[in-house]
Chain A
């Protein structure tokens, strides 16, 4: 009887210790994973922010888009859009996304007049982790190395 009681206690203690160990080890794993993930930029629309990028793009009806220029902007306000077929993507060195914006090139001028090419100017964050600016549309894609602007 005395031995059986000791075994029950032992089993109970083992379960408790194992549960605690499981939680602790899981926590360590999460911390380790968090440490290597790049922190995502937090967009703050309708606020003037320091250190932005002014991006000038050229969109074509039947060809891939072009990056005309990328220049640092001491301060600016994020371009906010309602979406579109083209994606402006900032990627880090490993190609992971750090910022994305959907845009819709409009190939008409209001008050009449169609266009084969339109330029579009946008303000996006100058994210320290961003290495590539990728502009993707149905017509094609262009990848721009931001290292030239730093």
Chain B
């Protein structure tokens, strides 16, 4: 009788006890993939005010985000390189609001890249690889005072591959070029050309979070055809054609998207 009681009680004990963590659940692999940012359908999109996603309290310590600038075929002085790099990165940091979520550090690599073919796709991959091998960072900005000409397009002043690309390549001279290209790496699309916008809307996993401006023509493939949707302060849109002036800002939809992405990134596993 005692033996029967022991067996029954043992079974009862197992039932009463909560399943131990990890004992019946298969091990989960670590990951650095973030939860998906809400999929946007520009045609039905309700713009989210930028202020709606701003943090209500300042976190005690922000995760560090490193922007590294690499000189590519830079023929000017070191001082001119650093001036241009600082102007471009300061502009991006100020206009994007990334500083609300990250402690942003900017590094200018001592060593530069020489003899690069600025017309080849490989120049961007080479910038990223060179950067990774020389300076740990979250985004790399290849900066040249030469003339980029991907696919022979000499009007192009900078380019990248879009969301999650670790780097961009830009020419000097237009203060908003780095901000424009970095905007692509967080998912923003070109607003100055309908064909490009459509292409990116189809290729980017979450489509284009910044709609193509209603006022812009939809039957042209000419570059610089449209100035994009102006920012709330009246500035030209950074995701439109980048020009030499300083009157550029991310417009409402672009800024709201950037802040959503930065908020998600800053809460990625392992960050504070």
A and B form one complex: yes
Binding site for B on A (CB under 8 A): 10-11, 14-15, 17-19, 21-23, 25-26, 29-30, 33-34, 37-38, 40-48, 54, 56, 73, 75-85, 89-90, 96-104, 106-115, 118-125
A-B contact count (CB 8 A): 221
The 3 A-B pairs at the shortest CB distance, nearest first, are namely: A22-B13, A18-B9, A97-B29
Report yes or no: A18 in contact with B31, Cβ–Cβ below 8 A. no
List residues 186-235 of chain B with CB under 8 A from any CB of chain A: 187, 190, 193, 195-196, 199-200, 203-206, 223
Binding site for A on B (CB under 8 A): 2, 5-14, 16-17, 20, 22-23, 27-34, 36-37, 63-66, 102, 121-122, 125, 128-129, 132-133, 136-138, 150-151, 153, 156, 158-166, 181, 184, 187, 190, 193, 195-196, 199-200, 203-206, 223, 261, 264-266, 268-271
Q: A14-B6, A18-B8 are in contact. List 16 more A-B contacts (CB 8 A).
A: A18-B6, A22-B10, A22-B17, A45-B265, A47-B64, A47-B270, A75-B136, A79-B164, A82-B37, A85-B205, A109-B160, A110-B161, A111-B159, A112-B196, A124-B32, A125-B30
Residues of A within 8 A of B269 (CB): 42-43, 45
A101's partner among B32, B166, B223 (CB-CB below 8 A) is B32
Task: Output the least CB separation between A35 and chain B (Å).
Answer: 12
12 chain-A/chain-B pairs, Cβ below 8 angstroms? A18-B12, A22-B13, A33-B23, A38-B27, A40-B27, A42-B30, A77-B138, A78-B32, A81-B32, A81-B33, A112-B195, A119-B125
Residues of A within 8 A of B206 (CB): 82
Given A22-B13, A26-B13, A46 and B30 contact (CB-CB distance below 8 Å): no
A100→B31 CA distance, assembly (Å): 5
A54's partner among B132, B193, B203 (CB-CB below 8 A) is B132
A110→B210 CA distance, assembly (Å): 15
